[in-house]
């Protein structure tokens, strides 16, 4: 449980830095440890948050496109770059 | 080139023997040029003169099968389909020239076609089985599709969702800085490049809005490079064309649907390793597919076409023994360097992990970037474990 809390704080911290860094589209996720945020179980690749990657043997397309490592990736945060009313127009 | 137009059919046979005509998209024009140049330099009767007309992917089908009119399909002669009039050919020194196809007094039919798309993706061919028309498909190397912006743009990435809005709503996209239709460039429904972004965004081809249909990959580079509002400019080309024009335009990293980060086709904007295409991080890629009339064994009926296809699809062949190098040099990826796959004739089917029969990833890195992290070898005994020595490097198996 403690570990989960720590990971959660780490994630929130990292995502905050990520969101702040997205406005200028300058490239690179500003993570506390400088590396990708891995999620060992991956949640099937579909439950990842911005900047997270799937740390395992990828089998599905979502796992493949989100596989770790994410060297050189540049986040594009739809939530901060696209107005909500416009984002709602995009079919899921 | 002078004002007088050379007529393709009038190229003298002694200087330009064994002519074959090809029609299709401009995405692979760099690769086709590279292989055609080698065939033009072969000695004597071995020479093959490839005359290449690249008005757009869909025109490959128009030229080999034909659009349906009153229930009948008739192949369109070369040069009658599409807005691009001139064809390319190469002399015995490998120099490229242009000629005009005589469509009136001496019409010729295409010997082969090329598209980075399956036939069913082309408007008017959705339910058509090309085999019933005696046409076979031959899968070549992989090509990426790149989004490009002005070299001075301050943007580095875009998502599938943003792209949907930018091309779907143009002036009203709401996605800064891509909010001016004037600086959005596109292609029509015959373009494999457009179809690629249709697949990536879910935006129907007919819903794409842009200032101008620029007709070809090279014209797209020119249009984007000359945009007067750099940040607002956007267009799309094959990755090999983008690679050739890095001094003029800038490639954007792309974040596919469901992806948590955007990636370049290569590991960095300045490298040529195609790492992210090869391992699946860059979603938007397709196989170059070549089409031609085939015999009962599924082999191209025209033996000259068969030779050309062997070389350009990466098979070991006597005409262009260094074809793998050329394929890599032109920014395309041979199957042996891929670690993901999709159904070549199924369109943009989901990516799957892939293990090529004889991997060449180490050699690919060496040719594409000038270096490889793999051990060099003379024989497999120089390698460890399951590694196999191939083309001078210890490949994974």
pTM of the model: 0.88
> Same structural domain for residues B200 and B162?
yes
> Same structural domain for residues B170 and B113?
no
At residue B4 the predicted structure's pLDDT band, cuts being 50, 70 and 90, is low
> Same structural domain for residues B173 and B291?
no
Give the span between the Cα atoms of A59 and A62, in whole angstroms. 8
Q: Quick check: B1 pLDDT over 60?
A: no
In a domain, B349, yes or no: no
Q: What tokens does B151 get?
A: 């070299």
Which of B241, B258, B278 is where one domain is finished?
A: B278
In a domain, B354, yes or no: no
In a domain, B353, yes or no: no
CB half-sphere exposure, B350, CA atoms < 13 A: 11
Q: Do B262 and A72 touch (CB under 8 A)?
A: no
> Same structural domain for residues B173 and B135?
no
Q: Quick check: B246 pLDDT over 90?
A: yes
* pLDDT 10s digits, B80-136: 876 667 999 999 999 999 999 999 999 999 999 999 988 998 989 998 999 999 999
Q: Do B260 and A75 touch (CB under 8 A)?
A: yes
Q: Do B161 and A49 touch (CB under 8 A)?
A: no
> Same structural domain for residues B49 and B121?
yes
Q: Do B350 and A61 touch (CB under 8 A)?
A: yes
Q: Quick check: A5 pLDDT over 60?
A: no
Give residue B293's pLDDT. Answer: 98
At residue B139 the predicted structure's pLDDT band, cuts being 50, 70 and 90, is very high
Which of B230, B246, B278 is where one domain is finished?
A: B278
Which of B225, B260, B278 is where one domain is finished?
A: B278
Q: Which residue of B has its CA nearest to A58?
A: B353
> Same structural domain for residues B325 and B268?
no
Give residue B84's pLDDT. Answer: 67
Distance from CA of A26 to the nearest CA of B (A): 7
Q: Quick check: A9 pLDDT over 90?
A: no
Angle at alpha carbon of residue B338, lines to B340 and B394, rounded to 5°: 130
> Same structural domain for residues B265 and B223?
yes
Range of lowest pLDDT (A37-41, B84-88, B94-98, B299-303): A37-41
Looking at beta carbons, which pairs linking B69-77 to residues 24 or more positions away fall under 8 Å? B73/B133, B75/B109, B75/B110, B77/B101, B77/B103, B77/B107, B77/B108, B77/B109
Distance from CA of B262 to the nearest CA of A (A): 5
Give the span between the Cα atoms of B365 and B355, in whole angstroms. 17
Q: What is the ipTM of this complex?
A: 0.91
Nearest to B186 by CA among B212, B160, B163, B165: B212
In a domain, B147, yes or no: yes
Task: Please state the rounded mean pLDDT for residues B335-361.
Answer: 96
How many structural domains does chain B have?
A: 3
At residue A59 the predicted structure's pLDDT band, cuts being 50, 70 and 90, is very high
Give residue A72's pLDDT. Answer: 80
Range of lowest pLDDT (A29-43, B36-50, B81-95, B239-253): A29-43
At residue A23 the predicted structure's pLDDT band, cuts being 50, 70 and 90, is very low
What is the per-residue burial (b if ≥16 Cβ within 10 Å, else e) of B287-306?
Answer: bbbbbbbbeeeeebebebbb
> Same structural domain for residues B306 and B383?
no
Q: Do A64 and B340 touch (CB under 8 A)?
A: yes
In a domain, B118, yes or no: yes
> Same structural domain for residues B268 and B297?
no
More confident residue, A2 or B171: B171
Summary mean pLDDT of chain B: 95
In a domain, B171, yes or no: yes
> Same structural domain for residues B104 and B35?
yes
Supply the range of the domain harboring residue B147.
142-278
Pairing relationship of beta strands B285-293 and B112-115 according to DSSP bridges? antiparallel
Whichever domain contains B173, its CATH number is 3.40.190.10
Of A50, A65, A78, the CB nearest to B281: A65
Question: What is the percent of chain A where pLDDT is above 90?
Answer: 38
In a domain, B243, yes or no: yes
> Same structural domain for residues B122 and B85?
yes
Chain B residues whose CB is inside 8 A of the A48 CB are 260
Q: Quick check: B36 pLDDT over 90?
A: yes
> Same structural domain for residues B13 and B85?
yes
In a domain, B3, yes or no: no
């Amino acid at each position: 449980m403690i570990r989960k809390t720590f990971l959660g704080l780490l994630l929130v911290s990292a995502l905050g830095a990520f969101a702040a860094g997205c406005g200028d589209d300058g490239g690179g996720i500003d993570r506390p440890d400088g590396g990708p945020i891995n999620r060992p179980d991956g949640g099937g690749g579909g439950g990842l948050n911005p900047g997270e990657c799937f740390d395992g043997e990828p089998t599905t397309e979502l796992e493949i496109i989100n596989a770790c490592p994410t060297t050189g990736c540049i986040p594009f945060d739809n939530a901060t770059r696209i107005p909500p009313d416009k984002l709602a127009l995009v079919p899921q | 080139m002078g004002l007088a137009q050379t007529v393709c059919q009038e190229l003298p046979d002694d200087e330009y023997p064994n002519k074959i005509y090809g029609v299709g998209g401009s995405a692979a024009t760099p690769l086709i040029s590279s292989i055609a140049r080698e065939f033009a330099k072969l000695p004597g009767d071995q020479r093959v003169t490839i005359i290449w007309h690249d008005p757009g992917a869909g025109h490959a089908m128009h030229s080999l099968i034909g659009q349906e009119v009153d229930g009948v399909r008739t192949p369109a002669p070369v040069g009658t389909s599409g807005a691009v009039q001139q064809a390319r050919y190469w002399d015995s020194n490998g120099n490229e020239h242009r000629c005009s196809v005589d469509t009136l007094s001496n019409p010729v039919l295409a010997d082969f076609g090329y598209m980075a798309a399956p036939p069913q993706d082309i408007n008017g061919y959705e339910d058509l089985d090309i085999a019933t028309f005696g046409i076979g498909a031959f899968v070549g190397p992989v090509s990426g599709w790149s989004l490009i912006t002005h070299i001075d743009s301050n943007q580095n990435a875009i998502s599938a969702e943003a792209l949907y809005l930018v091309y779907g709503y143009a002036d009203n996209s709401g996605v800064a800085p891509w909010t001016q239709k004037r600086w959005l460039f596109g292609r029509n429904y015959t373009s494999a490049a457009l179809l690629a972004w249709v697949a990536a965004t879910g935006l129907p081809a007919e819903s794409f809005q842009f200032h101008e249909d620029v007709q070809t990959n090279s014209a797209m580079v020119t249009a984007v490079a000359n945009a007067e509002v750099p940040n607002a400019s956007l267009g799309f080309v094959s990755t090999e064309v983008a690679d050739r024009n890095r001094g003029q335009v800038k490639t954007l990293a792309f974040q596919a649907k469901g992806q948590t980060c955007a990636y370049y086709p290569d590991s960095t904007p300045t490298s040529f390793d195609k790492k992210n295409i090869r391992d699946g991080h860059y979603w938007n890629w397709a196989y170059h597919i070549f089409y031609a009339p085939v015999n009962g064994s599924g082999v191209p009926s025209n033996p000259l076409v068969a030779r050309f296809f062997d070389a350009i699809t990466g098979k070991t062949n006597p005409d262009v023994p260094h074809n793998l190098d050329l394929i890599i040099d032109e920014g395309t990826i041979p199957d042996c360097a891929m670690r993901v796959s999709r159904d070549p004739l199924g369109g943009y089917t989901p990516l799957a992990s892939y293990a090529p029969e004889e991997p060449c990833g180490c050699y690919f890195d060496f040719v594409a970037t000038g270096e490889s992290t793999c051990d060099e070898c003379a024989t497999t005994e120089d390698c460890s474990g399951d590694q196999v020595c191939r083309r001078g490097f210890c490949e994974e198996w």
